[in-house]
């Protein structure tokens, strides 16, 4: 097998996903978020293989160096692609790490493929259970705001990525210009069609039913200052239905308070634990990468985490 062959997995006719496969040991599969490829996990890949883990990054179709076909970009398509990668690499007992939209993809994989080959699930800054608000789900982004982003993608995608970078971190003024430019370049490597299509998928998808399918140990990493996927989204996935976030104290900045008398938004993932990243926005994997890597290892090795169980088994 050539080096080029080893870096790509065919998942469909003329569709190849670019992967990074570093290290040996228990496998950790990383699914990046919109609009990035697996390169975003650089500060995990330069550390975790040295700790005895095999790290596999998967750039989804349309992003990074993967194929960029015309066609559908739905969570079902991505979940099927992910299964093809796991099967092609013959991976078992995987710790699946999904960031932002990648977290939504991971949840759809758990539901659609019944958690095949997965031993642990890690949801990071996840765009779930729903990225946008709806009559039964008042958290997240207004659908109309996503429509504006789609229009901007078709008229000035470079500005779309630049604007995204400014709210990606807790405080972009504390991030070096070269690093901001690097993230901008990662986003511009994506297909413009995939960039817009995934915004529509984020806008239209509801994963509240999918989270009920999770049947493996799960931890949720989320930044308290996340302006893209509010912290309250993580709370909805870590509390039982009778103890969903209610009132202003449970809400993240920019979200509407839910009165204590309203019906539950969803049931949490059974046994899920929540680890708060006090000094992070959306980019907790970089802003607190030392804590991120340590908590990930603690979870895999079943060591104590920083937070309590919200929904005991």
Residues labelled as active-site residues = 100, 226, 282
Number of H helices, E strands in the chain: 11, 8
| Calpha distance 151→160 (Å, rounded) | 10
Phi first, then psi: what are they for 44, rounded to 5°?
A: -95, -40
CA dist list (Å): 304 to 118, 239, 298, 299, 309 = 21, 19, 7, 7, 11
Quickly list H helices, 37-125.
42-45, 75-88, 101-112
Could you tell me whether strands 53-58 and 15-22 are parallel, antiparallel, or unpaired per DSSP bridges?
antiparallel
| Calpha distance 49→26 (Å, rounded) | 10
| Calpha distance 275→173 (Å, rounded) | 25
Q: At what angle do helices 143-155 and 157-168 cross, to 10 degrees?
A: 130
Question: With contact defined as beta carbons under 8 Å apart, do 14 and 69 qualify?
Answer: yes
Question: With contact defined as beta carbons under 8 Å apart, do 222 and 231 qualify?
Answer: yes
| Calpha distance 145→148 (Å, rounded) | 5
Question: With contact defined as beta carbons under 8 Å apart, do 43 and 110 qualify?
Answer: no
């Amino acid at each position: 097998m050539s080096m080029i062959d080893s870096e790509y997995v065919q998942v469909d006719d003329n569709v190849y996903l670019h992967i990074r496969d570093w290290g040996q040991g228990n496998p950790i599969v990383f699914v990046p978020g919109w609009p990035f490829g697996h390169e975003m996990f650089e500060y995990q890949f330069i550390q975790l293989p040295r700790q005895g883990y095999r790290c596999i990054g998967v750039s989804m179709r349309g992003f990074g160096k993967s194929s960029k076909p015309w066609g559908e970009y739905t969570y079902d398509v991505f979940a099927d692609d992910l299964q093809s990668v796991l099967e092609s690499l013959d991976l078992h007992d995987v710790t699946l790490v999904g960031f932002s939209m990648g977290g939504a993809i991971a949840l759809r994989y758990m539901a659609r493929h019944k958690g095949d080959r997965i031993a642990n699930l890690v949801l990071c800054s996840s765009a779930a259970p729903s990225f946008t608000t709806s009559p039964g789900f008042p958290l997240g982004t207004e659908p109309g705001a996503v429509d504006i982003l789609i229009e901007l993608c078709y008229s000035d995608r470079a500005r779309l990525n630049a604007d995204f970078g400014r709210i990606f971190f807790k405080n972009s003024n504390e991030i070096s210009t070269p690093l901001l430019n690097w993230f901008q370049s990662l986003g511009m490597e994506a297909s413009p069609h995939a960039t817009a299509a995934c915004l529509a998928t984020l806008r239209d998808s509801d994963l509240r039913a999918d989270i009920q399918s999770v049947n493996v140990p799960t931890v949720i990493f989320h930044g308290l200052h996340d302006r893209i996927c509010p912290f309250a989204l993580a709370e909805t996935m870590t509390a039982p239905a009778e103890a969903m976030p209610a009132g202003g104290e449970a809400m993240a900045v920019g979200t509407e308070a839910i009165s204590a008398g309203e019906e539950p938004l969803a049931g949490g993932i059974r046994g899920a634990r929540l680890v708060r990243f006090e000094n992070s926005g959306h980019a907790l994997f970089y802003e607190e990468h030392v804590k991120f890597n340590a908590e990930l290892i603690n979870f895999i090795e079943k060591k104590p985490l920083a937070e309590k169980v919200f929904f005991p088994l």
